[in-house]
Amino acid sequence: MGVFLDTTPLRDSPAFRRLWLGQGLSLLGGYMTTFAVTLQLYDLTHSSLAVGAAGLCSALPAMAFVLLGGSIGDAVDRRVLVLFATSGQMGVSILFALQAFAGLRLPALLYGLLILQSLLTAINAPARRTFLPRLLPKDQIRAGNTLNMVVMRFAEMAGPAMAGVIASVWGLKACYTLDAISFTAALYGVGRLPAMPPEGGPSRPTLRAAAEGLRFLIQQPVLMGAFLADLSVTLLGVSTALLPALNAARFGGNPQTLGLLMGATGVGGLAGSIFSGPLRRVSREGLAVLAVGALWGGCIALLGGSGALWLALACLFVAGAADTMLVVLRTTIVQVNTPDAYRGRVSGIDYLVGAAGPQLGNLRAGLMGTVLPVGVALVIGGLFSVAAVGVVGLVLPAFRQYRAAQAGVGPHGGAGGANVPQEATPP
């Protein structure tokens, strides 16, 4: 068995291949806009608080609306819904470009566009995540999720770097324009899909339907275990907010060193995606989620005690690789074990966990860093993360004992079932 990622879904499914390529190009454009908004806000205000407020504008509306957005995805043809939401996001990118070309200097306008973009994402993301189980056999879902992580990690690394070069030559308006153009690739990938109505008939997109999705989730220990293990890592282990203080305290405060520290997790995540061949041999997916979650926490604790730059970078690199494995395994468990009639709502919760966990984890890390030395804050967060992952395994034995074969996913991509008629977490 090779060490490289499994590319079978790209060879076997033209629909998945088009969707994957379109999503990858659109993600590159999205990171260009993220870079451009950050730089434009700082140029207008010279305030880190103003830049931080942009993150809240992107996260809070989606967090508040995503459960209802997921219920919409269980009520209509998801292909049509994603086409509508993606077209809306393209329109928002055009508005970003127009305000840049017009030379407007209105932070409030940027915040408003970010809020609108976030609301559209809350509709788009849960519905889009239901596509993969409909396009691939069960035994290829894990490979499909790994391929999605590859394009996400690549865009996370390459998007801002490309945007920096483009902005220095042609200005921020070029970044916004390229993002708008990139949505055509995403629209093409989705537009060529077959109809995607919910199996078993649609439900009405109401708060009651959203609550039914929550009740279904609570009754499923395997799904609960996957989400709680992820939250144990993100709420207690995510510590990006502490990296500037760690850099200042241990490594001289050089901005280039901080860049290395903040980029190491992404490099590790991309490497973990590319060299993910061994994941095909994993049969006890629940135990594997707990193991890589504990590995993440251990890396963060070791980071807190590191005095050498090479060791700190190694800890962050391994943490990034562990995060990739955790996300792939968690997403696969969720997609394979959720009936299609609930996939929109459960995918909404999945998106909420991925979006809210790191944000709240960084808030927790920042608060701890104000009252404790940075190394102590990192060690405590990492060890608490390991302990929380252990508690999840003890309290939910059905999750700890869960095997991929229970849902038709063999340990080698094996004898899977038929076609089922798709966050990175910073340190």
| DSSP notation for 331-356 | HHHHHHHS-GGGHHHHHHHHHHHHHH
CA distance 203 to 200: 9
Above pLDDT 90, what percent of the chain? 42
What is the tens place of the pLDDT at every residue in 288-339?
999 999 999 999 999 999 989 999 999 999 999 999 899 889 888 988 888 8
Q: Residue 141 has which token pair?
A: 């879902």
This prediction's pTM: 0.77
What is the tens place of the pLDDT at every residue in 37-69?
888 888 888 775 677 677 778 878 877 787 777
79 pLDDT more than 80: yes
Better-scored residue on pLDDT, 184 or 324 = 184
384 — pLDDT class (breaks 50, 70, 90)? very high
List of residues 6+ apart from 406 with CB closer than 8 A:
none
Mean pLDDT over 242-249 rounds to 84
pLDDT of residue 412: 35
Listed in sequence order, the DSSP H helices in 219-342 are 221-237, 243-250, 255-274, 285-305, 309-337
Planar angle of CA 259, 318, 126, nearest 5 degrees: 85
pLDDT of residue 2: 67
Planar angle of CA 414, 415, 419, nearest 5 degrees: 110
List of residues 6+ apart from 120 with CB closer than 8 A:
85, 88, 89, 92
Highest mean pLDDT pick, 169-173, 240-244, 275-279:
169-173
Q: Residue 139 has which token pair?
A: 């035994």
CA distance 206 to 212: 10
Better-scored residue on pLDDT, 257 or 382 = 382
CATH number of the domain at 8-407, out of 1.20.1250.20, 3.40.640.10, 2.60.200.30, 1.10.3720.10? 1.20.1250.20
148 pLDDT more than 70: yes
CA distance 12 to 31: 29
CA distance 162 to 31: 9
